[in-house]
Amino acid sequence: MIKRRTFVGAAGASLLAAPALGQAFPNKPLKVIVPYPPGGGTDGLGRITCEFLSQKLGQPIIVQNVGGASGTVGSEQVRRADPDGYTLLFNASLFVLGKTVVPTCPYDPQTDFRAVAQAGEAPLVLILNNNVPGTDYASTIEAIAKEPKKYFFALSSGGSAGHVATLAFLKRTGLPLDTILYKGTAPANTDLMAGNVQLFMDPWTATLPLATSGRARGLFVTSKERTSLAPNIPTAHEVGLKDFFISSWYGLWAPKDTPDPIVDKLAAAMAEVSKDPAFIAKTTSLGIVPTARGPKEFAAFIKAEVEINTALLKESGFKPE
């Protein structure tokens, strides 16, 4: 009887420990690693998100930039961190493709991390050099199809949302265009304006200003509705590309063994952030659409994204460098 009572008592204590763990968390500052240098799109949204997440959790959040090896150095630091919820990762959609785009990637993004919440997404815009003929989508595609060897598609980075969207677009339209891989959005934008490449599809946070300023022409956006940032550019659906909703997206991850109560506490706070009017105003002005996918929904979303995007990259013959 003594042994049985002791056992039941221990079991009861362990059952009570889980909710108590969530209630006590957090009781000290958190650290969020952004695995890229300061100043980029992921860093910008990460800092805005952490500003509001700090308010919801009632604790300071230190944002640390740990760049290197296409984001794997900083991500690996989080993978190796104590799974106590105090060291987290803020990353972009490219992260989940792992070895598909970075052969030396030391982890599996789906099994070595816990998806906490999606923070937002940035739809894409297809921009063209101003010398590409055509006055609308139909006439432009018709002109390109007549002389496909004259036109080149820029890619900002291998495996990026823009890369995947470009492959899907070429598959959908049947255009046999060659692609040129750049090391980032900035050099691709420069070559597009110079006429060295003629088409480029990337998150509108970095490319839409070219279209709105007249330095390039916007053919369509991949959001479900037109954006107030460029209301004259139609959606992909409007030009005939049905269900062409592709975005670069961003989220928060924790080490894989982080307990459920802590993940749930973080996810609940992120859900509050996504509904905060000040957060919505701040991110919308940058072209980011806030999202509110929690752990289970976010993990399922990631699984589907990986399957679709890996298949597109394999079909195209993409070889990571």
- The residue-averaged pLDDT of 16-40 equals 81
Residues in the chain, how many? 321
pTM of the model: 0.86
Pairing label, strands 199-203, 152-155: parallel
pLDDT at 81: 98
Phi, psi of 26 (to 5 degrees): -95, 150
The predicted-structure confidence for 68-99, as pLDDT tens digits, reads as follows 988 999 999 999 999 999 999 999 999 999 99
CATH numbers and ranges of domains, the chain: 2-122+249-316 (3.40.190.150), 123-221 (3.40.190.10)
Query: Tens digit of pLDDT for each residue in 181-229?
Result: 998 888 999 999 999 999 999 999 889 999 999 999 999 999 999 999 9
Q: Does position 6 have pLDDT exceeding 70, yes or no?
A: no
Question: How far apart are the C-alpha atoms of 42 and 255, rounded to whole Å?
Answer: 19
Q: Which residues contact 176 (CB under 8 A, 6 or more apart)?
A: 148, 170
DSSP assignment of 292-321 equals ---HHHHHHHHHHHHHHHHHHHHHHT----
Say whether pLDDT at 9 is over 50.
no
Report pLDDT for 129: 98
Region class of 186: left (phi > 0), else alpha (psi between -120 and 50), else beta:
alpha
Query: How does pLDDT run across 233-264, given as a tens digit for each residue?
Result: 999 999 999 999 999 999 999 999 999 999 99
pLDDT 10s digits, 194-203: 999 999 999 9
Residue written as tokens 């989940």? 96
Average pLDDT of 15-38?
A: 80
So what's the pLDDT on residue 2? 38
Q: Given a cut of 60, is residue 317 above it in pLDDT?
A: yes
Query: Where is pLDDT greater, at 38 or 269?
Result: 269
